[in-house]
């Protein structure tokens, strides 16, 4: 079972995140960057399947040179090798363009299963599995809270409001995972040391046969026109409960015509 | 007037259209004349046509085939893309559910368009508003390639009736084998609830770590029921096993934007704010006066939730 896990390096959602005023793109260079949290669950799932069924886990990312940190984290958890697509021409690419690059990179790899996190904390679009399934003609098994792979068939529980849908597809397929699916392992010291020696192949757009004039900010299918910080909220009212907190709360609701 | 295709999102089994569809029809009117697209199992459209017409659908395209329910996302995307190619609409608006976003993505690839997800507003010139980074940044964006496709975040636009003809037009459906890759074998409802759906609710009452136990969530539920609200939970509460994950508000959970959000025993970590910051009115109940949730709150009660919440429930019920 050969598995490719797509990972993304993102600005830490717990730190201050910004857009760059010069070109309205995510300010990645100045950010406190980490491996997208939900991707760890996809990596864990890949490692669990590999441990049971054998094969190899390859990590694939598209991102600036600094994205090697996210790759190292994945390798230190136990992935075998990595492919890093890095090209300055990618700067400012949108989801449609990035999916073209990931699809081209996947076509150069051998896999039975593609795994990824169900959402990146920076863009929060949750569309990459759908985009890649469309481009590669793969079955889309997205939003999984449970995955089993058996006899050439992948079965998931797709998390829904108040329950799940059981969905299955023949391999190869693309599966995205939520953080309900498992508990990711922490990299061990041994894992961290071993990761330093694992192969990381860097590829340019030319290596993937992609024309640089189809990617990047200038050729994106969407454009950010402008942005602004959310206007600060006016100072709210705070009351200490001295036996009348609930009454004041309900009075407030009444003043807002809510009750 | 230019035609704008609006994908109808339906409630399960004869439950009519979701409020998100009426919101999408309302938002689409800024761009032109909306046509609703119903892609569903045979026999579905007849029950929703009137409602779609009432909210502005001049035409209701009916694409009914069993495959659209039997397989995940891809068949619906195929049908919608086919319509986009046939009708050359000015834009496409889709409710921003997980499925809606995935359909929009696949249609964008099929027709060579760009798409914007979770927009909160669409202006007449096609400029969309989005909120980024836990609601802290407001962004204006445009689609610059092909037919603009938008997914509209729930509760961003107030649905307004605008009666139109709602003329039914049957669409011939033929689903390719390629779209039949992922088969839906079962749909399981684990938590049956009479409460409104979290992302659609106009009031949400959420509990956090401060609620302290699964049993004690009953006081959150009671307050929610007195207000006709949905119940939410913070990640801390979900991780502690107090409440199921499908009710989690925040990053890796649901994003809600109700008229009133009541945060009970929630400190207000950025991961939680990401899911509720755009709520119109925010009320916090917390015993810690320094809790960051108070920075967001229009009204805050510093006190013990175990006292304040049951009292408030009684007071709200007494007003009825």
Residue A67 confidence (pLDDT) above 80:
yes
The strand pairing partners of A156, in sequence order, are A147, A167
Residue B315 confidence (pLDDT) above 80:
yes
Burial B116-128 (b: 16+ CB within 10 A, else e): bbbbbbbeeebbb
Spatial distance between the Cα atoms of A250 and A258, rounded to a whole number of angstroms = 9
Spatial distance between the Cα atoms of B71 and B100, rounded to a whole number of angstroms = 15
How many angstroms away from the CA of B119 is the closest CA of chain A? Answer: 11
Residue of B114, B140, B274 lying closest to A94 (CB–CB): B114
pLDDT of residue B135: 84
B227, B203 in Cβ contact below 8 A?
A: yes
pLDDT of residue B175: 96
Which of A230-234, B38-42, B233-237, B275-279 shows the lowest per-residue confidence on average (mean pLDDT)?
A230-234
- ipTM of the prediction: 0.96
pLDDT of residue B13: 73
Q: In sequence order, what DSSP letters do the residues of A49-72 get, joined into one string?
A: HHHHH---EEEEEE--GGGHHHHH
Spatial distance between the Cα atoms of A140 and B188, rounded to a whole number of angstroms = 19
Question: What are the chain B neighbours of A121 within 8 Å (beta carbons)?
Answer: 251-252
The 3-state secondary structure of chain B, one letter per residue? CCEEEEECCECCCCCCECHHHHHHHHHHCCCCEEEEEEEECCCCHHHCHHHHHHCCCCEEEEEECCHHHHECCHHHHHHHHHHHHHHCCCEEEEECCHHHHHHHHHHHHHHCCCEEEEECEECCCCCEEEEECCCCEEEEEEECCCCCEEEECCCCCCCCCCCCCCEEEECCCCCCHHHHCCEEEEEEECCCCCCCCCCCCCEEEEECHHHCCCCCHHHHHHHHHHHCCEEEECHHHHHCCCCCHHHEECCCCECCCCCEEEEECCCCCHHHHHHHCCCCEEEEEECCCCCCHHHHCCEEEECCHHHHHHHHHHHHHHCC
CB A165: neighbour CB atoms within 10 A? 18
Q: Which of residues 196-255 of A touch B (CB under 8 A)?
A: 220-230, 233, 236-241, 245-250, 252-254
pLDDT of residue A215: 97
Spatial distance between the Cα atoms of B231 and B267, rounded to a whole number of angstroms = 17
Closest CA to A28 of A42, A41, A15: A15
| Residue range B45-93, pLDDT digits in tens | 999 999 999 999 999 999 999 999 999 999 999 999 999 999 999 999 9
| Residue range B110-161, pLDDT digits in tens | 999 999 999 999 999 999 999 998 888 999 999 999 999 999 999 999 999 9
Spatial distance between the Cα atoms of B272 and B74, rounded to a whole number of angstroms = 32
Residue contact B183–A239, C-beta within 8 A? no
Half-sphere exposure of A169 (CA within 13 A, CB side): 31
Spatial distance between the Cα atoms of B120 and B124, rounded to a whole number of angstroms = 14
Question: What are the chain B neighbours of A142 within 8 Å (beta carbons)?
Answer: 72-73, 98, 102
Spatial distance between the Cα atoms of B238 and B209, rounded to a whole number of angstroms = 9
Average pLDDT, chain A: 96
Spatial distance between the Cα atoms of B223 and B261, rounded to a whole number of angstroms = 12
Please give the DSSP secondary-structure letter assigned to residue A116. E
| Residue range A186-241, pLDDT digits in tens | 999 999 999 999 999 999 999 999 999 999 999 999 999 999 998 877 789 999 99
Residue B295 confidence (pLDDT) above 80:
yes
Residue contact A258–B299, C-beta within 8 A? no
Q: Which pLDDT band, with edges at 50, 70 and 90, does B15 fall under? A: confident
Q: What are phi and psi of B128, to 5 degrees?
A: -110, 150
Residue A105 confidence (pLDDT) above 90:
yes
**How many residues appear in chain A?**
259
Spatial distance between the Cα atoms of A59 and A67, rounded to a whole number of angstroms = 12
B128-132 β-sheet, strand order: A222-229, B137-143, B128-132, B121-122
Residue B287 confidence (pLDDT) above 80:
yes
Name residue, tokens 């993102």: A10
Q: Which pLDDT band, with edges at 50, 70 and 90, does A162 fall under? A: confident
Nearest-Cα residue of chain A relative to residue B98: A126
| Residue range A21-65, pLDDT digits in tens | 999 999 998 899 999 999 999 999 999 999 999 999 999 999 999
pLDDT of residue B192: 77
């Amino acid at each position: 079972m050969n598995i490719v896990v797509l990972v993304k390096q993102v600005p830490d959602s717990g730190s201050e995140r910004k857009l760059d005023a010069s070109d309205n793109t995510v300010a990645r260079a100045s950010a406190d960057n980490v491996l997208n949290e939900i991707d760890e669950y996809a990596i864990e799932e890949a490692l669990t399947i590999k441990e049971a069924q054998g094969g190899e886990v390859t990590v694939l990312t598209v991102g600036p040179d600094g994205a090697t940190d996210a790759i190292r984290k994945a390798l230190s958890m136990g992935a075998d090798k990595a492919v890093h697509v890095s090209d300055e021409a990618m700067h400012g690419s949108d989801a449609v363009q990035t999916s073209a690059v990931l699809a081209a990179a996947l076509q150069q790899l051998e896999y039975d299963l593609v795994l990824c996190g169900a959402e990146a904390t920076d863009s929060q679009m949750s569309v990459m599995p759908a985009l890649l399934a469309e481009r590669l003609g793969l079955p889309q098994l997205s939003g999984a809270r449970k995955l089993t792979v058996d006899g050439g068939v992948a079965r998931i529980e797709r998390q829904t409001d108040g329950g799940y849908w059981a969905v299955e597809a023949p391999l190869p397929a693309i599966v995205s995972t939520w953080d309900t699916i498992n508990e990711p392992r922490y990299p061990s010291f041994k894992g961290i040391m071993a990761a330093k020696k694992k192969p990381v192949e860097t590829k340019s757009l030319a290596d993937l046969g992609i024309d640089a004039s189809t990617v990047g900010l200038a050729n994106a299918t969407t454009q950010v026109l402008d942005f602004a910080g959310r206007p600060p909220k006016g100072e709210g009212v705070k009351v200490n409960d001295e036996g009348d907190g609930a009454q004041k709360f309900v009075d407030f609701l009444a003043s807002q015509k809510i009750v | 007037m230019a035609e704008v295709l609006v994908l109808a999102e339906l409630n399960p089994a004869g439950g009519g259209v979701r409020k998100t569809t009426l919101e999408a029809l309302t938002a689409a009117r800024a761009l032109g004349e909306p046509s609703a697209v119903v892609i569903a199992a045979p026999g579905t459209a007849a029950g929703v046509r009137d409602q779609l017409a009432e909210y502005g659908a001049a035409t209701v395209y009916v694409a009914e085939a069993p495959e659209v329910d039997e397989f995940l996302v891809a068949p619906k995307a195929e049908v919608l893309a086919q319509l986009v190619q046939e009708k050359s609409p000015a834009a496409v608006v889709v409710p921003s559910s997980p499925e809606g976003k995935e359909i929009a993505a696949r249609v964008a690839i099929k027709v060579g368009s760009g798409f914007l997800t979770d927009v909160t507003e669409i202006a007449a010139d096609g400029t969309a508003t989005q909120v980024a980074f836990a609601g802290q940044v407001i962004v204006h964006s445009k689609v610059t390639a092909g037919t603009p496709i938008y997914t509209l975040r729930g509760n961003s636009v107030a649905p307004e009736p605008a009666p139109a003809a709602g003329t039914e037009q049957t669409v011939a459906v033929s689903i390719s084998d390629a779209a039949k890759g992922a088969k839906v074998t079962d749909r399981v409802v684990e938590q049956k609830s009479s409460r409104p759906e979290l992302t659609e609710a106009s009031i949400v009452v959420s509990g956090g770590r401060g609620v302290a136990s699964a049993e004690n969530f009953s006081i959150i539920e009671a307050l929610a029921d007195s207000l006709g609200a949905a119940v939410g939970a913070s990640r801390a509460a979900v991780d502690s096993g107090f409440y199921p994950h499908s009710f989690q508000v925040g990053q890796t959970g649901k994003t809600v934007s109700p008229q009133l959000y009541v945060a009970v025993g929630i400190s207000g970590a950025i991961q939680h704010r990401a899911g509720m910051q755009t709520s119109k009115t925010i009320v916090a109940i917390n015993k810690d006066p320094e809790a960051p949730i108070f920075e967001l709150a229009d009204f805050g009660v510093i006190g013990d939730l175990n006292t304040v919440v049951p009292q408030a429930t009684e007071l709200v019920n007494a007003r009825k």
